[in-house]
Amino acid sequence: MKIIDRLCLWLGYASAVAIIILMLVVVADVCGRYFFNNPITGASELASFLMIVVVFPALAWTALEGKHIKVDLLVSRFSPRAQAILDSITLLVALGIYIVITWQSVLESMSVDTATGMLRLQHAPFYWIMTVSLAIFCLSILVLVIRNITRVVKR
Amino acid sequence: MSPETIGVIGLLILIILLVLRMWIGAAMALVGFLGYAYILGIKPAFAVISQIPFTTVSWYPMTTVPLYIFMGCVLFQSQIGKDLYDTAYAWVGQLRGGLASATVIACALFASITGISAPALVTMGKVALPAMRKYNYDDHLALGSIACAGTLAFLIPPSMSLIIYGILTETSIARLYMAGFLPGILMAGLFMVTIMIITAIRPTAGPAGPKTTFRQKAVSLKGVWPTLLLFLVVLGGIYLGVFTPTEGGAVGAFGSVVITAAMKRLNFRKLVDSVIEATQTTALVFLLIIGAYILMKFLAVSKLTILMGTTVAALPVHPMVIFAGIVVLYIILGMFLDIISAVILTIPVVYPLVLAMGWDPIWFGVIITILIEIGLVTPPVGMDAFVLAGAIDIPIAKIFRSIVPFLIAAIFCIILITIFPQIALFLPSTMG
């Protein structure tokens, strides 16, 4: 579990770095175009692909920190034990859909062989970044389920 | 079963999952996937979920989302909001209710450079509230002005909710920005009128602060220049077409880092904190967005939203009755959701209706932003009220009680914009 925590944290840091790079790429493109009439070739392609690195690696970390948004209308009125049980169930259901999504991404990543128009950036490595990140995201949900179940058993 | 029936069942299941506290993004993805599979078969459904995460996230307009969030986080860390309050305080603090009016002005200024409300709420909770308490302000007036003015961040551009609305409905974000501007100023003005009325009835609620000399006023203006500069660069650049609203996020974020670092308000530690905060917020927003796009695919093939749109539009009632229904719906939703979730969750269902009714999509974007803002500070779980309560350690019920007069002002603002849509639509119409 500790290792997964660590892993998710480092992936989150990777996303954080990607945000900075994304910012610099777009700013350089705007400056180049406006001041020097010389935009960076394929900056928008690069920025779009950087988004994959910005978003997916950070999903697991955000999950472990309990930041993903839910609506708390009813459940917080239940006993802590009932809450833990219910959360485990909804997390397992969520895990189900994300496993299907991950599985489909694996298939897609293996078959994709296209590249972008301007920079000839290969799609495949970015598909794999997404897929591996999604797999770790599933793992992080599993960790959350286990934590909830331990909470139930302890009492 | 007809696809429309499956659509209805799907939405009901979605609501049940949300009430059971499932992650909103996961619930939307699940219902979207299962519903699509039920109508068109499992193979096409697999095709949908294998494509949507990648294509949605790597869609160029999306790049603006993390950068505007990052900009807000940097500005929060740099304490620029405190400067804004100090300036507004020097100018209007000596009036009756002036410290509360200063809060509104500071929030409006802060809103012109941030797209999310939390930075303004937390900053004003820590700066304006102690100042108002020092001068024996009524706590309700103080809290109400902070909680309600904080939500101006979503109306005065740049605005996260208008960005998301623009992306989901493929409406011009530049036009939405310009549309939010005058209503934002109107709202701020109405909040100040509210403060004046309250303090005219009960002068003890907001006594005047100490007098300031003209010199002090002039000197205080130096606290505003970073904000003004950022605002002019970002909004001016977008308005004049130097860069697109998508690129505006990057320019604004970069500008915030440069300006606050030059002011020695941003050290490496604070920069790291802002990026980390921005990273997590981005991740949670995109978990929602991916879910919403999968759900939208399902709703499109169920034809439910189109059916609802045409049915409601054909109802033999005045369009204003339907509009009133939507107003109530959104205020209720805002009570349970944060603004970005509320927009993402409802646009797939409500937007086809807006088109069927022939309403202006830009005008509607402004209206739902105000509506959800209202919900954000109302019970039972108004998100912004909780942010503020958490920041200053005050019982949530007290904040809920404090906002009532300001809500009346916000509703009055909606009525004005409905009667005079030009308030929202004039500035966009001046764009090329």
Residues B320-352 have pLDDT tens digits of 898 988 888 888 777 777 788 888 888 888 898
Residue A64 domain boundaries: 2-154
The model's pLDDT over B283-308, given as tens digits with 9 standing for 90+, comes to: 998 999 999 899 989 988 998 888 88
Calpha distance B120→B76 (Å, rounded): 8
Nearest CA in chain A to B272: A16
The model's pLDDT over B361-398, given as tens digits with 9 standing for 90+, comes to: 999 999 999 988 888 888 766 778 877 887 788 888 88
pLDDT band for position A155 (cuts 50, 70, 90): low
Q: Is the pLDDT of residue A113 over 90?
A: no
Interface A-B: count of C-beta contacts within 8 A: 186
pLDDT band for position A126 (cuts 50, 70, 90): very high
Q: What is the mean pLDDT of chain A?
A: 91
- Token duo for residue B266: 């941003």
Q: Is the pLDDT of residue B247 over 80?
A: yes
Angle formed by the axes of helices B160-169 and B173-201, nearest 10°: 140
Query: Predicted ipTM?
Result: 0.95
The mean pLDDT of B137-156, rounded to a whole number, is 91
Q: Is the pLDDT of residue B206 over 70?
A: yes
Q: Is the pLDDT of residue A107 over 90?
A: yes
Domain count, chain A: 1
Question: B-chain residues within 8 Å CB-CB of A105?
Answer: 50, 53-54
Calpha distance B298→B294 (Å, rounded): 7
Percentage of residues in chain A with pLDDT exceeding 90? 70
What pLDDT is recorded for position A27?
A: 94
What pLDDT is recorded for position B319?
A: 86
Q: Return contacts of B186-190, CB within 8 angstroms, 24+ apart.
A: B186/B413, B186/B416, B186/B417, B186/B423, B187/B152, B187/B155, B187/B370, B187/B409, B187/B410, B187/B413, B188/B104, B188/B105, B188/B107, B188/B108, B188/B149, B188/B152, B188/B156, B190/B409, B190/B410, B190/B412, B190/B413
CB contact under 8 A, A47 and B21: no
Q: Residue B53: helix, strand or coil by DSSP?
A: helix
CA distances B40 to B6, B32, B34, B48, B310, Å, are: 12, 12, 10, 11, 23
- The answer to whether B283 faces chain A, any CB pair under 8 Å, is yes
Q: Which residue in the block uniquely carries the two structure tokens 């639509």?
A: B425
Calpha distance A150→B426 (Å, rounded): 59
What pLDDT is recorded for position B381?
A: 64
A29, A51, A105 ranked by CB distance to B62: nearest: A51
